[in-house]
Amino acid sequence: MEGMQYFYELFRNLPRGGPGDNQSTRKAFGYLRNLPFEPRILDIGCGPGMQTLQLAKLSNGTIIALDNYQPFLDILMRNAIKEGVEKRIILKNQSMLDMDFNNNSFDVIWSEGALYFMGFQNGFKRCHQLLKKNGYLAVTEAVLLAPSIPEPLQKFWDAGYPDIKDVKSNIALIQNEGFELLAHFTLPKSSWIDNYYSPMEKRIDELKKKYHDNTIALQVFAECEKEIKIYHTYSDYFGYEFFIMQKR
pLDDT in tens, 28-78: 999 999 999 999 999 999 999 999 999 999 999 999 999 999 999 999 999
Q: What distance in Å separates the CA atoms of residue 201 and residue 176, rounded to the nearest whole number?
A: 39
pLDDT digits (tens, 9 = 90+) for 114-143: 999 998 899 999 999 999 999 999 999 999
Contact 105, 135 (CB under 8 A): no
Candidates 3.40.190.10, 3.40.50.150, 3.40.50.300, 3.40.50.2300; CATH matching 19-150+160-188+236-247: 3.40.50.150
Got the DSSP string for 44-67? ET-TT-HHHHHHHHH-SSEEEEEE
pLDDT score of 2 = 78
pLDDT digits (tens, 9 = 90+) for 81-125: 999 999 999 999 999 999 999 999 999 999 999 999 998 899 999
pLDDT score of 3 = 87
Domain spans of the chain, in order of start: 19-150+160-188+236-247
Comparing C-alpha atoms, which of 77, 78, 123, 121 is closest to residue 96?
123
Give me the half-sphere count of Cα atoms (radius 13 Å) on the Cβ side of residue 128: 16
Q: What distance in Å separates the CA atoms of residue 136 and residue 133, rounded to the nearest whole number?
A: 9
- Whole-model pTM: value is 0.96
pLDDT digits (tens, 9 = 90+) for 190-239: 999 999 999 999 999 999 999 999 999 999 999 999 999 999 999 999 99
Contact 156, 164 (CB under 8 A): no
3-class DSSP state for residue 28?
Answer: helix
Q: Is 141 left (phi over 0), alpha (psi -120 to 50) or beta?
A: beta
118 residue type, one letter: M
Q: What distance in Å separates the CA atoms of residue 94 and residue 132, rounded to the nearest whole number?
A: 21
pLDDT at 1 over 70: no
**pLDDT band (50, 70, 90) for residue 241:** very high
Residue 3: Cβ within 10 Å count: 18
